[in-house]
Chains A and B, each alone.
Chain A
């Protein structure tokens, strides 16, 4: 059973508009969430993270929102640029659960295409 779900395999957005990528999780022990970005033929790269003590974290054009009651997080990219076209992975961990707390559980990813 998937504990981290990215229900949209793909998303297309016009350049300059907002991209919203969604992620749902089922494990209530998860308390730290990360987004990774992956270009073809490259490994994933860390983008932004959020702890469960916050509901928002912003870094430049990227903002992650966390709704703990809904077990939902989203990544907003504003404004979207063609270079943002990549696969975005949501990941979660129960960072204070002791043994195995470093294990990241990943979603399947959402492929974002930003159209010029």
Chain B
């Protein structure tokens, strides 16, 4: 399998549930990202990891907890979410943080999350 794979594709959870989103990249990249796309809003960067180290937390509430055990895997642990957290969560990877032509973002297909 190639590219960036996200599971599950769809997730419905209650506000008291704990769930995790998983992302795996098979591109040999060193940087991984979580983005959020809410309805009628632009993509928003949530977290950035470079060589497994978190380099960015874009003021994301603590009910979202990322984990990056290695350069190929990224998790987003979810706990006590709110209905307004319902969105498409996209994982991405890049060769490095430069984001130029030789290191564009490669996105997964996303997890559509609904919080009830």
Contact = CB atoms under 8 A, between A and B. Distances in A.
Given A34-B104, A43-B110, A46-B104, A102 B42 contact: no
A101 to B, nearest CB: 8
Contacts of A32: 99-100
Interface in B1-34: 4, 6, 31
Contacts of B4: 43
B107 A43 contact: yes
A25 interface: no
B92 interface: yes
Interface string B75-102: 0000000000000001010100111110
Interface residues of A, number: 27
Contacts of A2: 42
B68 interface: no
Given A43-B92, A102-B48, A102-B99, A49 B104 contact: yes
23 contacts: A32-B100, A34-B99, A36-B105, A41-B109, A43-B6, A43-B92, A43-B108, A43-B110, A44-B107, A89-B42, A95-B100, A100-B56, A102-B31, A102-B97, A104-B45, A104-B99, A104-B105, A105-B42, A106-B42, A106-B44, A107-B42, A108-B41, A108-B42
A103 interface: yes
B43 interface: yes
Interface string A46-78: 100101000000000000000000000000000
Contact of A95 (B43, B98, B105, B106): B98
B99 to A, nearest CB: 5
